[in-house]
């Protein structure tokens, strides 16, 4: 008889939150853009099986949000309205970090935000206060100053450049 042991969660578990419309710099996505973004995100960020991934966008982009989420082995979230995807991601981020902080096995050591929107600044500051390393992935010309200032590390999508900052 074979006994199957449950997989142990590694100590460096990461949570990725992806605003697909911000990453594409467009409110309307097509399959080619979605494929390109999924490939670029995987190649730059080296997403692993144990990582948690959530991709969000407007309801009108649901098919493309689902496509990218499936390519990244993640979950999809949709929300319309001003900052809809951002709010959906912030809700998911707060819930997940709260749940995962209850146990060493599920602890999240790093949060990676694929968006340059300033709405994430306060959440990033709170994560850093909890000792969680934060990375922002965005285009140089769309990254808000407050978000850049709040995070530990920046990866520029347009330059494939990493900007390590003092913690």
Predicted confidence (pLDDT) per residue in 72-84, tens digit: 999 999 999 999 9
Structure confidence at residue 27 (pLDDT): 86
CA neighbours within 13 Å on the CB side: how many for 140? 7
Residue ranges in 46-115 assigned as alpha helix (H): 62-71, 84-100
pLDDT above 50 for 9 = no
Residue ranges in 4-139 assigned as alpha helix (H): 20-24, 31-45, 62-71, 84-100, 121-129
Structure confidence at residue 98 (pLDDT): 81
CA of residue 139 relative to chain centroid, distance: 14
CA distance 119 to 154: 16
pLDDT above 70 for 160 = no
pLDDT above 90 for 91 = yes
Residues facing residue 135 across a β-bridge: 112, 153
Structure confidence at residue 164 (pLDDT): 53
Structure confidence at residue 50 (pLDDT): 85
142 versus 10: the higher-pLDDT residue is 142
CA distance 112 to 134: 6
Provide the whole-model pTM. Answer: 0.86
Query: Do the Cβ atoms of 136 and 147 come closer than 8 Å?
Result: yes
Domain-wise residue ranges, the chain: 17-164
- In percent, the amount of the chain with pLDDT more than 90 equals 62
Query: Which tokens go with 148?
Result: 């850049």
Query: Do the Cβ atoms of 135 and 151 come closer than 8 Å?
Result: yes
Reported as a single tens digit per residue, the pLDDT across 94-116 is 988 887 776 666 678 899 999 99
Structure confidence at residue 11 (pLDDT): 61
CA distance 86 to 73: 20
pLDDT above 90 for 6 = no
Structure confidence at residue 59 (pLDDT): 93
pLDDT above 60 for 55 = yes
Reported as a single tens digit per residue, the pLDDT across 148-159 is 999 999 999 886
Q: What is the CATH number of domain 17-164?
A: 3.40.50
Structure confidence at residue 99 (pLDDT): 77
Structure confidence at residue 97 (pLDDT): 83
Residues 6+ apart with CB under 8 A from 161: 155
């Amino acid at each position: 008889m074979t006994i199957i042991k449950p997989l142990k969660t590694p100590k460096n578990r990461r949570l990725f939150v992806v605003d697909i419309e911000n990453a594409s710099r467009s409110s309307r996505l097509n399959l080619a853009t979605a494929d390109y973004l999924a490939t670029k995100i995987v190649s730059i960020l080296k997403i692993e099986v144990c990582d948690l991934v959530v991709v969000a966008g407007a309801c009108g982009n649901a098919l493309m949000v689902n496509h990218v989420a499936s390519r990244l082995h993640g979950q999809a979230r949709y929300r319309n309205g001003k900052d809809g995807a951002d709010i959906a991601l912030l809700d998911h981020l707060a819930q997940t970090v709260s749940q995962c902080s209850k146990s060493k096995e599920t602890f999240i050591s790093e949060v990676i935000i694929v968006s340059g929107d300033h709405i994430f600044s306060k959440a990033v500051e709170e994560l850093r206060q909890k000792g969680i390393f934060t990375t922002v992935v965005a285009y140089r010309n769309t990254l808000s100053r407050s978000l850049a200032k709040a995070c530990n590390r920046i990866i520029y999508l347009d330059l494939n450049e990493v900007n390590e900052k003092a913690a």
